Amino acid sequence: MSAQPIRPFEYSGVERDAQGIQRYVDLPRSLVAMLRATVERVPDHEALYELGGERVTYREIWDRAAAVAGGLRDKGINRGDRVAIRLPNGIRWVEAFYGAVLSGAVVVPVNTRFTDPEVDYVLEDSGASYVFREDESMPSGTPYVDDSAQQGDLAAIFYTSGTTGFPKGAMTSHENFLANVETCLRCLRIPRRGEDQKTLVSVPLFHVTGCNSQLLVMAAIGGSTVIMPAFEVQEFLRAVQDEKVNLVITVPAIYWLAINQPNFGEFDVSAVQFCTYGGAPIAPDLVGKIKQSFPNARVGNGFGLTETSSVSTFLPDEFARDHADSVGFAAPVIDLEVADPDPQTGVGELLIRGQNIVAGYWNKPEATAATFVDGWLHTGDLARVDELGLTYIVDRIKDMINRGGENVYSVEVENALATHPAVYEVAVVGVPDQMMGEKVGAVVVPKPGATVDPGELVAFAREKLADFKVPQYVVIRPDPLPRNPGGKILKPTLRESTQWGEQLRR
């Protein structure tokens, strides 16, 4: 008898609309309504703390944001106008975000790692009427709150950081934000009266993880958000200890860095109840080390895109160790479909449908039509879903390697190589070959103080992979892998810039 799909989350209060899309039925009317409810319930509770800076209550952040909204109105900003935030992590970023929302404007978070041409493109493409800048004072005026926003209204435009071409602006509605908040509460099992909950934002607020799945989740439950202006591992650990952080959300590399600090054992991390990760493959042994290092915490893997407003699948603690290569089960309002699956492997393009899917790309009708089809988001990710309902991302379509007619999924090879104890990070790409078309090449960055022998790594890979998937080329790189402003590895750049040398195997 085949196994039945598992439903690990809370599914009550979910209904399908006339188009077949699943929706949470009791969400607030808007982000304004959500924040107002928390301010009225816990006005004097700490909402924000910027490391090395001030602490701000919910009443204080509301009053500041309302003054910013009034200042924006004084500058001629009207409902629906785009307002860009070009600020680093900190309380001012949050004031700008909430201020723009309270004014009725559409927020445009700008990636602070973008180059000047990319920034100029975002500002021009979005038609931003005002830009919050680091060297300028915040606008301030008579407090103003626009309460007219509805769930379907546009609230923000988050620009993607793709590996080719200019960014695209994902049009995020109030409903998209609110659905993601509800998904996080259900998947992570966070208390809904959460005054005792505290998260540490170690990732940029201009990304959907930091903003949508941390800042806004805490705002919904009345919890506290600790913001790191810039990441430093010792400050990260001190903050977890001193602030008694409950919820840690970050990338696998930061967990590895933290728990490998020589003085890690000197920090009290007993308050941590949730350790979630995402954004990159994680080695199964690292999952075990996270569970061991944070003994009171549940762990989990979240997967999503800018176009899904953050979380679309989640791997709960119960499955994290034995299925570390999976990104988990569909969130409660998510439908998943694998398009044109391979008969042998079940792998095809991952399609996602749900309440958190954005309306499309700002000012990009052709890209919108190609990516959002009949309510389904075409992710560009190759994936398979097993009989339990667990989702496995095996590659980006454009990164799949065709080795003499055999499909090699680079993520599968990367996951295997990442389990080697000396490997810090790895990228697998296709190396042009006259006979085979492409062969498998791996670029490996060793862990600090470790050495990696290419021949040994190939032998290690043979124990875990079919022969045709084992790299023919292995290059050891002393520098970090090249990444775009969003943290994605620039595989075209890596492929072209790497000197591959001689083949290690035929």
Task: Show the tokens assigned to 381.
Answer: 């990710």
At 1 the pLDDT is 43
Residue 347: Cβ within 10 Å count? 21
Q: Where in the chain is the domain with CATH 3.40.50.12780?
A: 17-394
- CATH topology for 17-394? Rossmann fold (3.40.50)
Contacts of 137 (CB under 8 A, 6+ apart): none
- Extended strands (E) in 332-375: 334-339, 348-354, 372-373
| Pairwise CA distance, residues 25 & 16, whole Å | 9
Furthest C-alpha separation in the chain: 72
Tell me which residue has tokens 């188009």. Answer: 19
Q: Where in the chain is the domain with CATH 3.30.300.30?
A: 403-497
Residue spans of alpha helices (H) in 363-490: 365-371, 410-418, 454-462
Tell the burial category of 122 from Cβ atoms under 10 Å away from its Cβ (0-12, 13-18, 19+). Answer: buried
| Pairwise CA distance, residues 413 & 418, whole Å | 9
Q: What is the side-by-side order of every strand in the sheet holding 224-227?
A: 55-57, 46-50, 224-227, 198-201, 247-250, 274-277, 298-303, 313-315, 329-330
Does domain 403-497 sit in CATH 3.30.70.2860?
no
* Pick from 447, 505, 496: nearest CA to 473: 505
| Pairwise CA distance, residues 416 & 284, whole Å | 10
Task: Show the tokens assigned to 123.
Answer: 């500002």
At 130 the pLDDT is 98
* Pick from 361, 328, 425: nearest CA to 9: 328
At 281 the pLDDT is 66
| Pairwise CA distance, residues 471 & 433, whole Å | 13
For every residue of 438-461, DSSP letters joined together read: EEEEEEEEEPTT----HHHHHHHH
Contacts of 312 (CB under 8 A, 6+ apart): 303, 304, 305, 330, 331, 334, 352, 354, 356
* Pick from 111, 105, 214, 96: nearest CA to 168: 111
Q: Strand, coil or helix: what is 361?
A: strand
DSSP letter, residue 115: -
At 267 the pLDDT is 98
Per-residue pLDDT 10s for the chain (506 aa) are: 457 889 999 999 999 999 999 999 999 999 999 999 999 999 999 999 999 999 999 999 999 999 999 999 999 999 999 999 999 999 999 999 999 999 999 999 999 988 888 899 999 999 999 999 999 999 999 999 999 999 999 999 999 875 556 789 999 999 999 999 999 999 999 999 989 999 999 999 999 999 999 999 999 999 999 999 999 999 999 999 999 999 999 988 889 899 999 999 999 999 999 999 987 667 788 899 999 999 999 999 999 999 999 999 999 999 999 999 899 999 999 999 999 999 999 999 999 999 999 999 999 999 999 999 999 999 999 999 999 999 999 888 888 888 877 778 888 888 889 889 999 999 999 898 877 788 999 999 999 999 999 999 999 999 988 888 899 999 999 999 988 776 778 888 888 889 988 787 65
At 62 the pLDDT is 98
Residue spans of alpha helices (H) in 25-132: 31-41, 58-74, 91-103, 116-126
Radius of gyration over alpha carbons of the chain, in Å?
23
Whether 394 and 412 have beta carbons less than 8 Å apart is answered as yes
| Pairwise CA distance, residues 113 & 484, whole Å | 8
Containing H/E element for 313?
strand 313-315
- Considering the entire predicted model, what is its pTM? 0.88
| Pairwise CA distance, residues 382 & 397, whole Å | 6
| Pairwise CA distance, residues 256 & 346, whole Å | 32
